[in-house]
Amino acid sequence: MTAPGSRARIVALGDSTTAGTPAFKSALEAPPNGSGDATSQYAYWLMHSHPEWEVLNRGVNGERSDEIQARFDRDVVGASPAAVVIIAGVNDVYQGRPVEHVTGQLRAMYVRAADAGIRVVAGSILPFNTATPEQNGRMRHINDWIRRLPGVLFADTRAAVATAGNPDVLFESPDGLHPTAAGYHRMADVIRRALEQVLG
């Protein structure tokens, strides 16, 4: 729990959909402060809605879940946050990795966070418009596994950015692969509600 009025640090961990691709590069991609349209990242919108939150954007475009997991201690535990938001797996699916590869990496991150006393908000994998039915099936399988897992708070970021009536297509996209700034704002809305529960 975070005391009222106190500043809470949150780490946003993931791939391009955390970094803010294509309009923004995170501080890991463009040190020291990132570059581009700041509104094209859900971290911006979280801090816009909660100025007392410090949200560290630790997204890297193109990374798989194992690459994200490999830097968990450096980018999450080392920052001593109250909470971490984890969204990973779309690049694994894109590259043909099996469901079990992703769920194993996600589980390792959830367990490591719990061991470090860091609360977890688990986001669902976002759609991309060129995904095949088989790729969408694997993404749904992973997202359903996250949703059912005890000990983490689920935020349905996929639903937040999907087209009404079609959960497999982005409602708006500059490149068919990533959300617009409006999509990142929608992601922040569902993540914010989960963080408000986690942080009290």
Residue 190's nearest CA partner among 141, 153, 135, 143 is: 153
pLDDT at residue 70 above 60?
A: yes
* pLDDT at residue 2, as a whole number: 47
* pLDDT at residue 75, as a whole number: 98
* pLDDT at residue 1, as a whole number: 47
Element containing residue 51 per DSSP (H, E):
none
Determine how many CB atoms are found less than 10 A away from the CB of residue 67: 15
Once rounded to an integer, what is the mean pLDDT over residues 156-175?
95
Distances (CA, A) of 74 to 27, 34, 94, 177, 191: 14, 18, 26, 28, 23
Q: Is residue 2 part of a domain?
A: no
Q: Is residue 66 part of a domain?
A: yes
* pLDDT at residue 7, as a whole number: 85
Q: Is residue 3 part of a domain?
A: no
- Whose tokens are 């759609």? That residue is 127
Q: What CATH number is given to the structural domain containing 44?
A: 3.40.50.1110
pLDDT digits (tens, 9 = 90+) for 91-104: 999 999 999 999 99
Number of compact structural domains in the chain = 1
pLDDT at residue 151 above 90?
A: no
* pLDDT at residue 176, as a whole number: 85
Q: Is residue 1 part of a domain?
A: no
The pTM assigned to this predicted structure is 0.95
Q: How many residues does the chain have?
A: 200
Calpha distance 67→88 (Å, rounded): 10
Range of the domain at 151: 8-199
- Whose tokens are 């949150």? That residue is 10
